[in-house]
Chains A and B, each alone.
Chain A
Amino acid sequence: MTVAASTSESKPKPVKAVKVKGESKHLYVSFGLLVVVLVMWEVLPGMLDVPRYIIPTLSDCLAELKNMYAFDKLLSHTASTAIFTILGFVIGSALGAAIGYLLGMSPFWEKVVSPYILALQIAPKVAFAPLFIMWFGYNSMPKLLVTVLIVFFPVLVNVLQAMRTVDRDLVNLARAYSLTRWQIFVKIEMPSTLPNLMAGLRIASTLAVIGVTVGELVGGNVGLGYLISYGGGQANAAMVFNAIGILTVIGCVLYMVLERIEARALHYLPKDSH
């Protein structure tokens, strides 16, 4: 990485100047676009006589956000959703990775269970939510289980796929150096599959928010998903808008944290192929 940095610094100045200008240009346009959309959101509903229970304006939403903070325990709902998103993500991806590695080490069992994995992967996981409520009641268990289930598969499938494509020559090299099966797993297979594991985790992080939201929508009286169904019931569109916005922020933060971890963990990959 130090090499890459020093080479880009040694580039001739004019090229660098043009590049910086080009890089920040899309940021300006991006920001400009946001401003245009926000202004239209604020102005258009009033001009077109759209009632606020259909499309609340930006200022309606901000006012409602204040109310939610004051009267609807917004912070505790947000915290609950965030905690269960992370918890479900961690448990689901740990299980997915563990089973992915186990099956990856045993081609026999992989063949035995792969049709069922495929079937379960296709089955819509969110549809399990009412079942979980019947089994576990109106508590946090159903939303945690939906999240675990939805996060589990992309991680499992990515790890399994990567285990199949580990370079056989690397494994032979390790065998020739008399490494044990466990050492081969830790020193060759785990690091070889890391890029795929990280890709699976990134996909899983976006799904985790969906899992928690569906769990909260279907049952319970805690969380942003609950606020969505509560707000919907009262024709309070601004509350629904706000809850969706905060859910999106939770998902983005999780995704960005993973991106950071990935950049750290995979620092040895050259930038262009990354």
Chain B
Amino acid sequence: MALEFKHVTKQFQSNSGEMLTAVKDVDFRVEKGEFVSVVGPSGCGKSTILSMTAGLYQPSIGEVSVSGERVDGPNPHVGFMLQKDLLLPWRDIISNVEFGLESRGLNRAARRAKAMEVLNACHLGGFEQHYPYQLSGGMRQRAALARTLAIDPEIILLDEPFSALDAQTKLLLQNSFSKVIAEQQKTTLLITHDLAEAVLMSDRILVLSERPGTVIAEIKVDLPHRDEPLKRRNLPEVSEYAAQLFSYLKLEEKAF
């Protein structure tokens, strides 16, 4: 399996000094090549899960492992992407894509070649000399995906990468991300608050409770076209899945 959380609990010291439990006894696995989404109310510790997978901090109790290896620091097998594209504004697109390769002992020509390859896979060929400010929001997120793929990660972590985009761009970008991820057969963990997005893009969805976050449901999305959300979107079952998520999150009770 690609990613495993074994009874993971994470506590933080809050500013007032008391201990705050962000996630509690989270336990799940992601198989190789699988696309799993994590949904939950805001503040339920979704991003904590992501940061622990990336190795930015360690669990208080339990263990996180990637490809069978315990994660105890920044991990070269994990690529992550946030809502912000985090492109370096002073670098052109191809140098941005190369950024993650620069600590890996590759020579310049090899880095360039690898970066060109992923840029083409992300349909950004021809834009390698552009600077980030010259690209649209959607293209910038595609460049960020290219940077993430360039390091050949075993697992990709996506933290709400589409939430800052307008509705149309979002649909197109979900489609292009799904295609690229399917082509490259990457294991992916998507953190999102968009229920439809979770249904359209995933093989499996984990539903987290409110803080302290813990997995309250696991839904297998048994629908075709995982690599093409625009097609999956037209299936009637999609709304049933979304309704199911909706009820798990007890959103009716909160509506008024």
A binds B: yes
Q: Interface residues, chain A, CB within 8 Å of chain B?
A: 3, 167, 169-170, 172-173, 175-180, 183, 187-188, 191, 194, 268-270
Q: A169-B86, A177-B103, A270-B133 are in contact. List 8 more A-B contacts (CB 8 A).
A: A3-B130, A175-B56, A175-B74, A176-B55, A178-B103, A179-B103, A268-B132, A268-B133
- Across chains A and B, which 9 residue pairs bring their CB atoms closest together, nearest first? A270-B133, A177-B100, A191-B90, A268-B131, A178-B103, A268-B90, A176-B74, A179-B103, A173-B86
A194 to B91, alpha carbons, bound, how many Å? 13
Q: Which residue of B lies closest to A172 (CB)?
A: B56
Query: Are A169 and B102 closer than 8 Å at their CB atoms?
Result: no
Kindly list chain B residues whose C-beta atoms are within 8 Å of the C-beta of A176. 54-56, 74-75, 78, 80
Smallest distance from the beta carbon of A271 to chain B beta carbons, Å?
9
Q: Give the interface size class of chain B.
A: 20 to 34
Contact with B74, one of A169, A178, A188 (Cβ below 8 angstroms): A178
Kindly list chain B residues whose C-beta atoms are within 8 Å of the C-beta of A191. 88, 90
Q: Interface residues, chain B, CB within 8 Å of chain A?
A: 54-56, 74-76, 78, 80, 82, 84, 86, 88-91, 99-100, 102-103, 130-134, 151
Kindly list chain B residues whose C-beta atoms are within 8 Å of the C-beta of A188. 88
A180 to B102, alpha carbons, bound, how many Å? 11
A180 to B103, alpha carbons, bound, how many Å? 8
A176 to B153, alpha carbons, bound, how many Å? 12
Kindly list chain B residues whose C-beta atoms are within 8 Å of the C-beta of A268. 89-91, 131-133
Query: Are A178 and B89 closer than 8 Å at their CB atoms?
Result: no
Whether A177 contacts B99 in the complex (CB less than 8 A), given A268-B89, A270-B133, comes out as yes
- Best-surrounded residue of B56, B76, B89, B91 (most CB of chain A within 10 A): B89
Query: Are A269 and B74 closer than 8 Å at their CB atoms?
Result: no
Q: Which residue of A lies closest to B134 (CB)?
A: A3
Query: Are A269 and B78 closer than 8 Å at their CB atoms?
Result: no
A262 to B78, alpha carbons, bound, how many Å? 37
Query: Are B90 and A179 closer than 8 Å at their CB atoms?
Result: no
Q: Which residue of A lies closest to B89 (CB)?
A: A268
Give 9 pairs: A residue, B residue, CB < 8 Å, sorted on A: A3-B130, A169-B82, A177-B99, A179-B103, A187-B102, A191-B88, A191-B90, A269-B89, A269-B133
Kindly list chain B residues whose C-beta atoms are within 8 Å of the C-beta of A194. 90
Q: Which residue of A lies closest to B78 (CB)?
A: A176
Kindly list chain A residues whose C-beta atoms are within 8 Å of the C-beta of B84. 169
Smallest distance from the beta carbon of B106 to chain A beta carbons, Å?
13
A177 to B75, alpha carbons, bound, how many Å? 8
Kindly list chain B residues whose C-beta atoms are within 8 Å of the C-beta of A175. 56, 74
A187 to B56, alpha carbons, bound, how many Å? 19
Kindly list chain A residues whose C-beta atoms are within 8 Å of the C-beta of B133. 268-270
A172 to B159, alpha carbons, bound, how many Å? 14
A179 to B105, alpha carbons, bound, how many Å? 12
A270 to B89, alpha carbons, bound, how many Å? 10
Smallest distance from the beta carbon of B6 to chain A beta carbons, Å?
22
Query: Are A170 and B134 closer than 8 Å at their CB atoms?
Result: no
Query: Are A170 and B56 closer than 8 Å at their CB atoms?
Result: no
Kindly list chain B residues whose C-beta atoms are within 8 Å of the C-beta of A167. 86
A173 to B75, alpha carbons, bound, how many Å? 11
Smallest distance from the beta carbon of A268 to chain B beta carbons, Å?
5
Kindly list chain B residues whose C-beta atoms are within 8 Å of the C-beta of A177. 74, 76, 99-100, 102-103, 151
Q: Which residue of A lies closest to B131 (CB)?
A: A268
A187 to B131, alpha carbons, bound, how many Å? 16
Whether A183 contacts B134 in the complex (CB less than 8 A), given A169-B82, A191-B88, comes out as no
Smallest distance from the beta carbon of A173 to chain B beta carbons, Å?
5
A175 to B78, alpha carbons, bound, how many Å? 12
Q: Which residue of B lies closest to A266 (CB)?
A: B90
